[in-house]
Structure 1
């Protein structure tokens, strides 16, 4: 009988725990909902990629079919947008002619043929950055009728292109010819994907003198340049396109009647395509080993990642920007490469792969390009098959067919050249970081500081800009059916914890924990706090230690519930390490970030919370730790429903943190390759984003031993927040809590801040 009673008690407890929240359906199943959530986001994003590509193609066909001024204006707008995406936005340095590079040990003249002299050259591009390469100068310069820029694939040197040394794939030369006697050719050096370990310029001052240097990861040279450039609205691609355009400046100034041809294979073909699309002075663009569908851009090396590219362009649309000028697509094999990510071997760079476009894929993209342009423009687009390129290949006239006299190549000099290019590009990015406070100040000049209400009105345009252009908004309509499913997973004397799942979009769910105090009276509405976990966390991370909580969160969710607050802890995408990083790779070409998903699911969350009779919709606050602290200064500022925000374990001088290669705590030097947000450095730092919360209260927390940054940077950035609140007469609505601790939440201080503004 005792056993039967015990069994009935257990069954009764199990039945009670299974009871859903009133107004919701029972949540069933035993699958890992965090895993299901992230897997669903992945499927959703891949499906959206196909949808956006189809809509893009339809829109381009419609706009170009209008013809006349309307079509011309469409092309100008998109050419401008492409330049912005690639970071081609800096004035180039004018020059009369390239500088020849000779030293006591290396003559500037590399060698001669019967028709050309080969010279090592350098030319200014932007700021103090200068490009380098080889110049094939005709013996009779006055007879030049064509200027050619030949762009190698990353990792192939100009010397290898011209056959002076071995190492260039045979396919890289198919369809390309050694210039005739009346043509000049420049072969710029393209930065490779050679891996190196990159360390900060300064030591870690938070460690004891003499302690081992911390930080620094192995990554490719191109990724090292890409990371800080991307944050500053620039790109390794854009820097190299600028090299090409600087040469065209020179060509057009010196030989204005000569035609200009830009050609390349692999990455060189990519650069040629971008350059041809951007610069109307290029008469003929030749692309080999690259042209094709771009919807799998996320698989390619991260240095090819362009924010928002697929929302506006595929390769066919790029070709349409070239028309009616000549474009030749060589359907020759492209490079095949795999970039590994071995964390145990100190590799922090992103994985990626290059797969040669198939002939069928090239044909489909060429056909799509021809469909976009109403007429063929007199045969502007020519596709050359691999067989045709091979049949026309004359080894004596190939790029490597020059009969050199006295040519010498020093491998060490080639390596030193690449090191100079990497250093020069990164130095330009670091200069942009240094001057970025003034750039952001000018960008934010329209904020009205005359009153809190005037500021709030003027900030609306900036909130929209950040949401649309920097964070990225998912424009798919949310499902109207919330379909809430819940189940009780914990019941204490103080609260009941429900596991919650809502539908957002097909394959896109919202998952989290809702803690409801047990002493809520009928008709009573309580304030709710959204408590957000950090990287690698789940809703359980914020629970009690015996219930799976993480120590650095100090059981914040149950402690808030015990103080009488409703608490909702949603699952955010930054979980399962490289799986979420690959989600960012898929999102970026759509002009999305991780915060795009978070923004959309929070919108759905608010709609659901509005249906709960015990939630006070005017008193919904936010606290986030670590990656959740990043979320705190990015998402609530554009969501006025959040009435108060606390950012912990992250707030600091965010642009230096993200893009500087000087400091050891910078993301530019570690293995979190997804952290970089395009153009953030020219628009919003942390203080600027926190300012968009005004007049809502804001608190930052900083543990002195938190390795996120140094106190000095946190203090500097928060001082800007406090100054803004003070100028608007709102100094009592902001605070920073300093404490002797690390990467953790100071729960008592947060609770005091909540109590001050959320309780009567």
Structure 2
């Protein structure tokens, strides 16, 4: 077995050493284009056709369930949380992205059946609710492959079963990726967000956890409408995380190491503000590699004289949302009127 490990280690070292080490605007532009190519592109000229499915009023906010069209024959459901005290004013908005689990219900305080949850909020910590209570309009799409959006051929044994493998493996045959499809759908949510009357489209942020952190990073890289991003439980190196254990197939971007390691990829969002949070006991994305990634990202931001825009919090915990600093960072960066 050591021979196989040695082979992969040598292949990695030989590949990444050929990556560019200067991070100017030309590097950023060319790598962003290559990254979009590797993800695979999706296009749609169909209208969003938004439909309100449900509305429920709470003390501090109102929750809507809304569907939009993303691709021909494809509908996306999202929860939209709106502070009750806006009184005609526009507010900054957050694109909130769940990780692996039972879908977007998991971040808006609902159990798998859609009822108000009474137990432990789990790794997601109902972070969409935490953000709407701080004055943000929050849009939480159900990422394709999770919850009610699993592939029809997959028979779920539990609410947390997903269709990541089925969808990702088939999309690869078309030269596309599941991450690319999820990013595209998030961009369709951003289209909807721009026209939402309560949203100040000049103050759009993003936050995601785990696989949702991946999509938060990748969407921010490719869509400059997002002005600030908080990534939880993802920032690392491919070598130290994705290559270090078996991960979900939705993490894999064909050929990416020929052009960038994960820190270089995340740094493509320079000069927009970035917050990184990670648990010191995260077993999926080890903290030592997170520290290395932060150092590399900060170095790239430094080349553009904006290293002060990279903030981070390594907290006492595991693979989970923390929020102790990230929520307030989003507030100070995007300036909502707190309730």
TM range (shorter): 0.7 to 0.9
Quick one: distance in 2 between partners of 1:578 and 1:518? Answer: 34
Q: Give the aligned partner of residue 256 of structure 1.
A: none
Q: Using a 3 Å threshold, how does the CA distance of structure 1 residues 510 and 459 change in structure 2: closer, same or farther?
A: same
Q: Please tell me whether residue 471 in structure 1 is matched to residue 39 in structure 2.
A: yes
- 2:269 counterpart (693, 696, 707): 693
Q: Please tell me whether residue 438 in structure 1 is matched to residue 17 in structure 2.
A: yes
Q: Give the aligned partner of residue 202 of structure 2.
A: 618
Pairwise CA distance, 1:635: 2.2
In the TM superposition, 1:578-727 aligns within 5 A as 579-659=163-243, 666-667=244-245, 670=246, 672-727=248-303
Pairwise CA distance, 1:732: 2.1
Pairwise CA distance, 1:638: 1.0
Quick one: distance in 2 between partners of 1:696 and 1:592? Answer: 27
| Residue pair 2:169, 2:249 contacting (<8 A) in 1 also | no
| Residue pair 2:240, 2:286 contacting (<8 A) in 1 also | no
Quick one: distance in 1 between partners of 2:91 and 2:247? Answer: 42
- 1:565 counterpart (120, 136, 139): 136
SS in 1 for 2:327: helix
Quick one: distance in 2 between partners of 1:711 and 1:671? Answer: 17
Pairwise CA distance, 1:728: 2.1
Pairwise CA distance, 1:673: 4.6
CA-atom RMSD in angstroms: 2.1
Q: Deviations over 1:335-362 (max 9, x none)?
A: xxxxxxxxxxxxxxxxxxxxxxxxxxxx
Q: Give the aligned partner of residue 65 of structure 2.
A: 499
TM-score of the two chains, using structure 1 as the length reference = 0.40
- 1:462 counterpart (6, 12, 31): 31
| Residue pair 1:655, 1:681 contacting (<8 A) in 2 also | no
Pairwise CA distance, 1:603: 2.4
Structure in which a larger fraction of residues adopt helix: 1
Q: Which runs of 5+ in 2 are unaligned?
A: 151-160
Q: Give the aligned partner of residue 529 of structure 1.
A: 94
Q: Please tell me whether residue 517 in structure 1 is matched to residue 93 in structure 2.
A: no
Whichever of the two has the greater Rg, that structure is 1
Q: Give the aligned partner of residue 314 of structure 2.
A: 738
TM-score of the two chains, using structure 2 as the length reference = 0.87
Quick one: distance in 1 between partners of 2:251 and 2:27? Answer: 29
| Residue pair 1:651, 1:714 contacting (<8 A) in 2 also | yes
| Residue pair 1:516, 1:561 contacting (<8 A) in 2 also | yes
Q: Give the aligned partner of residue 157 of structure 2.
A: none
Q: Deviations over 1:104-142 (max 9, x none)?
A: xxxxxxxxxxxxxxxxxxxxxxxxxxxxxxxxxxxxxxx
Q: Which runs of 5+ in 1 are unaligned?
A: 1-197, 202-422, 449-454, 660-665
Pairwise CA distance, 1:527: 0.4
Q: Give the aligned partner of residue 554 of structure 1.
A: 125
Quick one: distance in 2 between partners of 1:640 and 1:754? Answer: 17
Pairwise CA distance, 1:561: 0.8
In the TM superposition, 1:384-395 aligns within 5 A as none
**Larger RCO (alpha carbons 8 Å, 6+ apart):** 2
Q: Using a 3 Å threshold, how does the CA distance of structure 1 residues 671 and 554 change in structure 2: closer, same or farther?
A: closer
Quick one: distance in 2 between partners of 1:627 and 1:673? Answer: 11
* Number of equivalent positions: 317
Pairwise CA distance, 1:605: 1.4
Q: Deviations over 1:46-94 (max 9, x none)?
A: xxxxxxxxxxxxxxxxxxxxxxxxxxxxxxxxxxxxxxxxxxxxxxxxx
| Residue pair 1:531, 1:567 contacting (<8 A) in 2 also | yes
| Residue pair 2:44, 2:72 contacting (<8 A) in 1 also | no
Q: Deviations over 1:392-449 (max 9, x none)?
A: xxxxxxxxxxxxxxxxxxxxxxxxxxxxxxx46x64332121344422235xx4x32x
Quick one: distance in 2 between partners of 1:493 and 1:588? Answer: 45
Quick one: distance in 1 between partners of 2:264 and 2:217? Answer: 9
Q: Using a 3 Å threshold, how does the CA distance of structure 1 residues 492 and 673 change in structure 2: closer, same or farther?
A: closer
